[in-house]
């Protein structure tokens, strides 16, 4: 028999989440499926998201995979091209490219082809990660407009604080001041801005984490946002141990029993994608009942508290995150974010 750990993917939830997002906006939806669709699988996630108006990802070969699989929507490379010799492939497969740097602008300027290349021009309005500065904007836009290979131009930016108290107002004001007179399509909103700031929706929204049923906000759950989890990481209890007061659990003995306890060992560890740094007390479901992890997470196993679950034993189903156990809650307990947990699912974990 194989190890009982597996990830179940509910693609009806992905479709549900897309519909939930559409109800919030009249903008076109550019579904973000980078990092193998946040760990859910590029092509299978795209199949479930066929109703999206477009797809955004990072890798040129992934974009080609989608085209060859029959997807005809706009496909956007979020970091653009990395070398001039990629430009003919963009044209061949009708792929849109973000342009965010002077190096890319120079490579585009040397490209001899005429017509058809869709460009998303990225403005740095305060994230200070990618994009042209406000001082560069007017000249860069004019250069892109004049290039004979460029077709449609979309103007975009990315918010640094859409998910926290700082908000989007300063960046939005910067963007509006720069592009106010331009009659060009615009894209600003990631999941957080889409859900919280309708004034950012513009022509294209770019939902990512919300599509997969997780919340971009620390204080608002996915359920409160009308979202359903797509990935459920589940396993089983494979061993049960009785502890007495003073017994320690796992590497380093970081957990010490203060009383007699009953604990279970679960077939899941950091080599499966569960966070090694998750502390004692991280929530988990065993047999549908909430309990907690104990001690240090090992490569292939972790320990859970069965003291208040007398019916739990070897073979009991364990949900690490997903259905009934929000990935956001697990991530918060582990001092990380749901994005990291979903993207870190190991290849060795079977998908059902």
Give the closest residue to 161 by CA, choosing from 79, 219, 217.
Answer: 217
Give residues with Cβ within 8 angstroms of 209, minimum separation 6.
38, 191, 215, 216, 338, 339
* The CATH classification of domain 231-343, taken from the options 3.20.110.20, 1.10.357.140, 3.20.19.10, 2.40.37.10: 2.40.37.10
The per-residue pLDDT for 114 is 73
The per-residue pLDDT for 36 is 97
43 contacts 63 by C-beta, under 8 angstroms: no
262 contacts 307 by C-beta, under 8 angstroms: yes
Average pLDDT of every residue of the chain: 96
pLDDT tens by residue, 25-39: 999 999 999 999 999
pTM as predicted: 0.95
Query: What's the N-to-C CA distance of the chain in angstroms?
Result: 16
The per-residue pLDDT for 140 is 96
Confidence of residue 268 (pLDDT cuts 50, 70, 90): very high
Give the closest residue to 189 by CA, choosing from 170, 171, 202.
Answer: 202
Distance from C-alpha of 183 to C-alpha of 161, rounded to nearest angstrom: 27
The per-residue pLDDT for 53 is 98
306 contacts 293 by C-beta, under 8 angstroms: no
Transcribe 113-177 into DSSP letters. --S-EEEEEEB-SS--SSSB-HHHHHHHHHHHHH-TTEEEEEEE---SSTTSTT-SHHHHHHHHH
Give the closest residue to 336 by CA, choosing from 277, 293, 249, 267.
Answer: 277
pLDDT higher for 116 or 67?
Answer: 67
Q: In the predicted model, what is the mean pLDDT of residues 280-297?
A: 98
With a pLDDT cut of 70, the percent of the chain lying above it is: 100
The per-residue pLDDT for 181 is 86
Angle between helices 169-179 and 134-146 (to 10 degrees): 40
H or E segment at 237?
A: strand 231-243
Where are the chain's structural domains? 11-212, 231-343
Distance from C-alpha of 203 to C-alpha of 191, rounded to nearest angstrom: 15
The per-residue pLDDT for 111 is 87
The per-residue pLDDT for 81 is 97
Q: Which residues are catalytic?
A: 34, 251
pLDDT tens by residue, 102-160: 999 999 988 887 778 999 999 999 999 999 999 999 999 999 999 999 999 999 999 99
Protein fold of 11-212: TIM Barrel (3.20.20)
Confidence of residue 180 (pLDDT cuts 50, 70, 90): confident
Q: Indicate whether 92 pLDDT > 80.
A: yes
Q: Indicate whether 299 pLDDT > 80.
A: yes
Distance from C-alpha of 206 to C-alpha of 163, rounded to nearest angstrom: 14
């Amino acid at each position: 028999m194989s190890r009982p750990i597996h990830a179940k993917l509910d693609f009806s939830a992905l479709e549900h989440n897309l519909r939930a997002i559409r109800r919030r906006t009249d903008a076109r939806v550019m579904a973000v499926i980078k990092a193998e669709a946040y760990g859910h699988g590029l092509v299978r996630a795209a199949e479930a998201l066929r109703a999206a108006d477009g797809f955004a990802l990072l890798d040129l070969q992934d974009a080609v995979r989608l085209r060859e699989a029959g997807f005809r929507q706009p496909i956007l490379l979020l970091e653009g091209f990395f070398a001039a010799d990629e430009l003919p492939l963009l044209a061949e497969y009708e792929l849109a490219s973000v342009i965010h740097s002077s190096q890319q602008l120079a490579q585009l300027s040397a490209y001899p082809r005429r017509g058809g290349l869709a460009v998303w021009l990225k403005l740095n309005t305060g994230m200070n990660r990618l994009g042209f500065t406000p001082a560069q904007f007017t000249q860069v836009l004019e250069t892109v407009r004049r290039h004979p290979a460029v077709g449609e131009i979309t103007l975009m930016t990315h918010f640094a604080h859409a998910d926290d108290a700082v908000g989007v107002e300063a960046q939005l004001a910067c963007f509006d001041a720069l592009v106010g007179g331009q009659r060009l399509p615009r894209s600003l909103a990631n999941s957080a801005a889409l859900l919280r700031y309708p004034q950012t929706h513009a022509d294209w929204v770019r939902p990512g984490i919300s599509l997969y049923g997780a919340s971009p906000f620390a204080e608002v759950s996915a359920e409160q946002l009308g979202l359903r989890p797509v990935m459920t990481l589940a396993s089983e209890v494979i061993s049960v141990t009785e502890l007495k007061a003073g017994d320690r659990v796992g590497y380093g003995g970081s957990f010490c029993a203060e009383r007699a306890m009953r604990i279970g060992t679960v077939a899941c560890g950091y080599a499966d994608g569960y966070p090694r740094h998750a502390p004692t007390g991280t929530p988990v479901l065993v047999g549908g009942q909430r309990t907690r992890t104990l001690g240090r997470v090992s490569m292939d196993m972790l320990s859970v508290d069965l003291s208040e679950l007398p019916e739990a034993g070897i073979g009991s189903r364990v949900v690490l995150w997903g259905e009934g156990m929000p990935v956001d809650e697990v991530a918060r307990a582990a001092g990380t974010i749901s994005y990291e947990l979903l993207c870190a699912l190991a290849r060795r974990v079977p998908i059902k």
